[in-house]
Amino acid sequence: MLDQEEISRLLDILGNRNRRRIIDLLRQKPCFVTEISDRLVLSPKVVIEHLAMMEREQIITFNQDERRRKYYFLYNDIKLSVGLERRDDLISLPERSQQAMLRNGLVMLRRLISARENLILNLEQIDRDIDLKIHDMLKYGKDILQNEGDLDLLLALSHYDLTFESLEELTGMSSSELNSTLARLKKNGLVEYQGTTYNLSGIHAE
């Protein structure tokens, strides 16, 4: 049995919608950080922070593939039992008021469903556009990008400005490999270092 402090920490984890979405995704299959980021439309930095928190609580863990990239999966799933108990002292609303509240709720539900449908259509188009841009990167960068690791690094920075440590986590490169790749991409004018993070060159000027 969990003590009160452990239960409170689990409730804190489940209290965040994005952590719940990550758990639901990992129930389906193990995922890399970039997969979670792409599927849930979250920055890799935010995903890493959520994963680190859940890893500390032993909810998730990871294995590494042959390229030393971490893929995460559920180590302990969370099971909660929550119920509602009707109070006997509630004052019933008049039937007309109930009907009005029901109609208003249905109107709002329709608007929300319509908005969701539009968002889904827009996201599908954006996904197609992203695939085309990645194809263009491979086509025009074939003489510059030396390996798959170069592409992984640039795709990671396409999401968000990242620290060296976060790039290690996302790409699975060793420190020496990452230093070498960053130096080469900086020399080619594709990556720059500002403060504590790396970003795509010129992206802040757009």
pLDDT in tens, 63-94: 988 878 889 999 988 777 767 777 666 566 67
Mean pLDDT score of the chain: 85
Query: Do the beta carbons of residue 64 and residue 58 sit within 8 Å?
Result: no
Q: Which two tokens stand for residue 157?
A: 């920075």
Cα separation, 142 vs 3, in Å, equals 56
**What pLDDT is stored for residue 60 in this prediction?**
93
- CB proximity list for 64: less than 8 A, separation 6 or greater: 70, 71, 172
| Alpha helix ranges (H) inside 59-204 | 95-140, 148-159, 164-171, 175-187
**What pLDDT is stored for residue 198 in this prediction?**
92
* Regions of the chain short of the pLDDT cut 70: 1, 82, 87-93, 203-206
**What pLDDT is stored for residue 205 in this prediction?**
42
Residue 67 DSSP label: T
Nearest to 156 by CA among 197, 206, 125: 197
**What pLDDT is stored for residue 203 in this prediction?**
64
Q: How many CB atoms lie within 10 A of CB 200?
A: 15
Distances (CA, A) of 123 to 38, 64, 130: 11, 30, 10
**What pLDDT is stored for residue 204 in this prediction?**
52
pTM of the model: 0.55
